[in-house]
Structure formats: structure tokens, C-alpha cells
Amino acid sequence: MSLGAELHVASRYLIGNRRWTPVVTVSLISVFGLGLGVFALVVTLALLDGFQSGIRSQIVANAAHAEVRPATGRRVVDPEDLASLLQGELGNVEIVQVVRGTCLISSDTDAVPASVVGRSDTEGVIADRLISRRLGVGSGDRLEVISARQRLTPMGPLPVRIRTVIERISSPEPGSESGTVILPIAEAQRLLWGEPVIEALELRDVAEPWSLGQRVRGILGSHGLAFQVAGLEELHRPLLTALALEKVMIFVAVGLMLVVAALNLLCNVAMVAAEKRKDLAVMAGLGFTPRSLRRLFLVLGLAIGLVGSITGAVLGSALSIVLDRTGALELPRGVFMVTAVPFSVDPVTLGIVVAVALGLAALATWLPARMVARREPSEGLRYE
Amino acid sequence: MSENRLMVEATGLTKGFGSASTRLEVIRDLDFVVATGEMVAVVGPSGVGKSTLLHLIGLLDRPEKGRIVLDGVETDGLDGAVRAGLRNRSIGFVFQHHHLLDELDALDNVALPLRISGRGSRDARNRAAELLDSVGLAERTTHFPDQLSGGEQQRVSVARALAMGPKLLLADEPTGNLDRDNAERLFQLVTELHLKVGLTSIIVTHNEEMARRCDRIFRLAQRSGLSENVREI
């Protein structure tokens, strides 16, 4: 049997004829419930995506997109050759040679441990806002950077240290807790190694940042060079994992609204099944199989789910886009990186929300549909 | 009218309702046979099991004991889908309350069995229009059940019962809700169609006068409370 008869009856039940029937009423309540759940979930996730894409943009803007380290040991052998090879293969990418370590950063009044990075593209000294806040220093102030490495002096072994002036203050690296000081590479090498050692190459490709690690891995592999390559995902795994986990937890928590809406749908469909007991018996008498009756109810539930979730998704997306474009929800200046609450509607997330809503609607309808299919047709006629 | 071939052959039917403690046995060890082409009236007091017997023969319910053979087809053990197919193709039902679907107009109500059988919408509606014409309701096709009189509702119900060209017509007190004139008109319509289409008809009725106009009367009576039925033919 085709689905024509089930669709025909289901559509008449939902749209009704000239009258406002109880089926239409409970269907509208169910549509409203599911629509509200989807709407709330879409807006919440758009808000979360808005903030998270801000963080991702900051990572892309400020951090390396890929990092190449030696497979063993800490020194990159022939870093210039390696840089030339990658530059030749990748074309328009920025390649920076770096060394890293931990030093004590001291101002006139205080000292804190912090990361020190020597970069081949840096001329002056850059301290991030964490260092600036902790030590109470700003551009033009003096800093002393003290290494754990020691050198022998007439007064005995003393730590290697440099005195320098902060050229500018930068945004902290996402996820950084201790603060970072960036130095010209020669000074960092002197502090950390005492010789011109390169520990890693950092690469940036503004056009395709997220795939750079994979491409570098491919190039080095094709030349038989053994290096450790980390892309953006690997370099910021803890932060990105935390962001993804946050999204999942918010989805689950706000998604509970959908579960409540689905339970409401279950009750309403069960009510329809009770209200239409006689009709169902008559339809069975006319030749509807138990499977057809089950399908009739599944069509009813899915239609309600589809209308509810599409309506909720459209309204939720529209509101998110309007709020994002107009910047209607302003944030206090200086507290956040952005001046208004950002919203970002991700089509994949939207698809998942609609799919989950439809899945829950189908599940919620399954129970009453199964109950209806298992009844003997005469039951509905006997109690009439 | 009777032919030798049997349309309905029910033997040893037993059916009750309720749980073990509240069980009410409505039919016990009942035999019932109808030949092809017969018009049989089933009469008896309320609660004696007339509708239950009709539901069992119409495959709307299953007997606890006994077997039913419809037009040579053994119905015991048939699954729900096959029984539904038989109901759709071979059996037409007319109920006391018209049992039309309120959300469908007269045309769609009559077309429903055809749609269920897989016929296309246009084809089904054309056939339904012919049937409504044949019961004198050509002008009422777009009316919904609550816009029709009781007699008209039952005529739509008759048209729907005949939509698939069934071999067996089962009518459960079809005139029970109608006044005398409408009841008479409906009974005449059923009788005419029975002859014209070559149906086998089983009509449950309280109306003795109508029952006498059938080929045969099957009388259900109570003996020893509700637990046993006897038949007088």
C-alpha cells in the first residue's frame, strides 16, 4: 500500500476542515512546544557560536597556524633550508624561527615567572597584558628577564639576564595563564641557549589557516623528512576541546527543553489516539493495516515535528542574525573583546538541532502509534 | 437466491470480554453459515452478541475458539495485514452510527477504501462520485458529515461500503438511528444494491418487519444468562 491514504487522512486531521477540531488544537500546542524548544536552542547555540568564533578568530589572528619541531631532540638542524623548502612548496606563508623557555620577569617592584619566546620576526620587546597587569608595567617601562641558565663569573655562577624596555603590550595568547614576553630571537637565544639554536618553525597562512598543519605534514612526508608537525587543532587542543565540550553541554542542557516538548507531543498524540479511537477502528475496518495506522500516527507526529522545528529554526536564526547585525545587545566597553553580544548561526548546528527535534518527535509518536496498531479494530467500535 | 457455495462458514465460535475475574462470555460454541448471494438477518435482544458476531465475521475481532472461513479462505492464523487486505477488498461495513470521518467530505469518505487499496486520488474520487450518484447523493459530494441528515449519512456509509466492490456486506443495525421513512428508504437501497451487485449480506437488526424481508433470519437468544446462545433459523 502506498503512503497516500495515511498522508491524506493525516493532512485532513492537521488542517481540519471548516471547524476548529481538538486535533488541530493539540497539534498547534505541540507545534508551539517544539518550535519554542528549537527556537531557544538555536538562539543559545548562535550566541555560543558567536562568542566561540570570536575566540577562534583571535587564535587565527594572533597565533601560529602550524608549528614544525624536530622529531627527536630540541634543535632544528638547518632551519634555513627547512624554511626555504616549506616556503617554496607552500608559497605565500609566513615562516618564523622561534625558541621558547621559561624565565623570571622582573620589574622594579615585583617578579613573576613567564614564557619567553624568541622570534625571528620581532625587533623590540613585547609583553602581553597578563605580564603588564601582574607587574604593573606598560610600554616604555623597563623589564629584566632572568634565565634559569647560569654563566660563570668572577663572583661565581650567576643566572643569565638581560635588561630591556617594553616596546608594546599585546593581547595574551588564548588559554595562556602565566603571560608571555616576546624577544628578538638573538636575545632569546642568548638567554635560553647561549648559542644560535632554533627550536621550531612557526607558520601562518591567513588564507587557509586550519589546513596548514596537514599540508606541511604532507610536504615533509613527501621529502622523507621526520619532523613533528602540529596544526591549529593540535596547538590549541585544550582550548578547542573545552569550547567543543562547552557547546555539547549547552546543547544537552538547553536541549532538555526539546525533550519536554517531545513529552508534550507524546501526550497530545496519545490524546488524539483516544479521541479518534472510533475513526481508527473504522479505518481498520476499511482496510488500514496495523502498520498503516502506525504510519498514520508517525506522519502526524513528524508533520508536527517538522512544522515546529522549521518554524523554531527560522525564527531563531532570524532573531540571531538581526541581533548580530544590529549589535542590539551592547556589552560594557573594555570588559569584553567585542562591543555587542555576537551571534553566529552555523548551518551544520542548525541541521543537527532540526534533526534532533524530528528524531524526538518520531520517538514521542512511536509509543501511541504502536499502541494504536496493536488494538483490535472492534475495540474502538465496541465502546462507541 | 441461495447458491450451494458458502460465503461464510463459522463453526464453534466462542468470544468473551474482560479479565478472568470479570469475564463476560458473549458467544459460546456458535455455528453460523451463510451461502453466497444470501441476505440474512440476525436478530435478538440487546447484549446477546449480534454485533460481536458481525465483528468476528468481518475480521474486526478474533474469536477465542472456533474457525471462520470466508469465501473459501480460512481466516485463522492470518496476520493483521492480510486480514486488513481481506476487509478492504471483500467486505463492506455499514454501522448503526454512520461512522463517517468528520474531517472528510462525502466524496473523500467514499473514496477512502479506494485510496487505502492504492488507487490514485483522481481515480478514487471519480469512482466515489459514481457511487454517491448511485445512492442519490450526487449533489452532496462536497458536504461534510455534519452537513448531512441521518439518512444521507447512512447512504454515504452504504456507498463507502460498496466502494471496493465487496462480496460480503455486513450491516450493524443500519436503520437503528433513522426514522421510519428513512429507515425504509435505506433498507430498500440496501436490498436493491444487494440484488444489483450480487452481494451476500448479513444485516443485524431489531426491526422484525425488515428481518422478515430477508432470505433467512438467524435468531440469537439467551439461555442460562449470557453464557450461551441458541439459533433459530
Residue B186 pLDDT grade (very low, low, confident, very high; cuts 50, 70, 90): confident
A374 near B CB under 8 A = no
Contact A289 B84 (CB under 8 A): yes
Contact B84 A287 (CB under 8 A): yes
Beta bridge partners of B220: B231
Contact A292 B60 (CB under 8 A): no
Last residue of a domain, one of A198, A230, A262: A230
A275 near B CB under 8 A = no
Three-state secondary structure readout of B99-116: CCCCCCCHHHHHHHHHHH
Pairing of strands A111-119, A180-184: parallel
Residues A83 and A225 in one domain: yes
Cross-chain CB nearest to B103 (options A21, A278, A287)? A21
Residues A249 and A199 in one domain: no
Question: Under a CB-based contact definition with an 8 Å cutoff, are residues B205 and B42 in contact?
Answer: yes
Residues A274 and A154 in one domain: no
Q: Which residues of chain B make contact with A291, given a CB cutoff of 8 A?
A: 80-81
Q: Which residue of B has its CA nearest to A19?
A: B103
Contact A4 B102 (CB under 8 A): no
CB-count burial class (<10 Å; 0-12, 13-18, 19+) for B173 = buried
Mutation target for A interface from B64, B94, B110, B116: give the one with most A CBs within 10 A: B116
Residues A368 and A292 in one domain: yes
Residues A119 and A161 in one domain: yes
Contact A12 B99 (CB under 8 A): no
Question: Under a CB-based contact definition with an 8 Å cutoff, are residues A342 and A54 in contact?
Answer: yes
Q: What gap in Å lies between CA A286 and CA B112, rounded to an integer?
A: 8
Q: Which residues of chain A make contact with B55, given a CB cutoff of 8 A?
A: 377-378, 381-382
Q: Which residues of chain A make contact with B17, given a CB cutoff of 8 A?
A: 382
Contact A378 B85 (CB under 8 A): no
- B222 or A59, which is more confident: A59
Q: Which residue of A has its CA nearest to B101?
A: A279
Mean confidence (pLDDT) of chain B: 86
Residues A72 and A221 in one domain: yes
Which one, of B95, B102, B96, lies nearest residue B148 by Cα?
B102
**Half-sphere CA count of A366, side-chain side, radius 13 A:** 6
Would you say residue B69 has pLDDT above 90? yes
Contact A8 B115 (CB under 8 A): yes
Cross-chain CB nearest to B116 (options A5, A13, A21)? A5
Angle at A201 between CA A196 and CA A205, to 5 degrees: 145
Q: What gap in Å lies between CA A119 and CA A64, rounded to an integer?
A: 12
Residue B82: the pLDDT is 92
Give the gap in angstroms from C-alpha B231 to the nearest C-alpha of chain A: 23
Domain count, chain A: 2
Which residues touch A373 (CB under 8 Å, ≥6 apart)? A290, A291, A293, A294
Last residue of a domain, one of A230, A256, A278: A230
pLDDT tens by residue, A96-117:
999 999 999 999 888 999 999 9
Give the gap in angstroms from C-alpha B73 to the nearest C-alpha of chain A: 17
Give the gap in angstroms from C-alpha B55 to the nearest C-alpha of chain A: 6
Domain extent, residue A349, equals 4-59+239-382
Here the cell at position A268 is: 497530545
Would you say residue B228 has pLDDT above 50? no
Residue count (chain A): 384
Residue B226: the pLDDT is 36
Residue B3: the pLDDT is 45
Q: Which residues of chain B make contact with A382, given a CB cutoff of 8 A?
A: 17, 51, 55
Identity of the residue numbered A79:
P
Q: What gap in Å lies between CA A239 and CA A63, rounded to an integer?
A: 13
Residues A284 and A248 in one domain: yes
pLDDT tens by residue, B21-58:
777 888 888 888 999 999 999 998 888 888 889 999 99
Residues A29 and A154 in one domain: no
Which one, of A308, A219, A232, A222, lies nearest residue A268 by Cα?
A308
Question: Under a CB-based contact definition with an 8 Å cutoff, are residues B94 and B170 in contact?
Answer: yes
Residues A297 and A202 in one domain: no
- DSSP letter, residue B140: G
Q: What gap in Å lies between CA B193 and CA B210, rounded to an integer?
A: 16
CA B74 to chain centre: 19
A vs B: CB pairs below 8 A: 101
Q: Where are the alpha helices (DSSP H) in B42-198?
A: 50-57, 80-90, 106-116, 121-134, 150-161, 180-197
Last residue of a domain, one of A230, A261, A282: A230
A375 near B CB under 8 A = no
Q: What gap in Å lies between CA A220 and CA B100, rounded to an integer?
A: 76
pLDDT tens by residue, A258-308:
999 999 999 988 888 888 888 888 999 999 998 899 989 888 888 999 999
Q: What gap in Å lies between CA A1 and CA A14, rounded to an integer?
A: 22
Q: Which residue of A has its CA nearest to B115?
A: A5
Find the mean pLDDT for residues A18-36: 84
Which one, of B206, B94, B98, B79, lies nearest residue B149 by Cα?
B98
List, in order of start, the domains of chain B with CATH numbers.
6-232 (3.40.50.300)
Residues A197 and A243 in one domain: no
Beta bridge partners of B8: B34, B70
Q: Which residue of B has its CA nearest to A378?
A: B60
What is the sign of the dihedral through the CA atoms of A53, A59, A62 and A65? negative
Which one, of B44, B36, B29, B85, lies nearest residue B228 by Cα?
B29
Residues A76 and A22 in one domain: no
Residues A78 and A164 in one domain: yes
Element (H, E) at A144: strand A142-153
A184 near B CB under 8 A = no
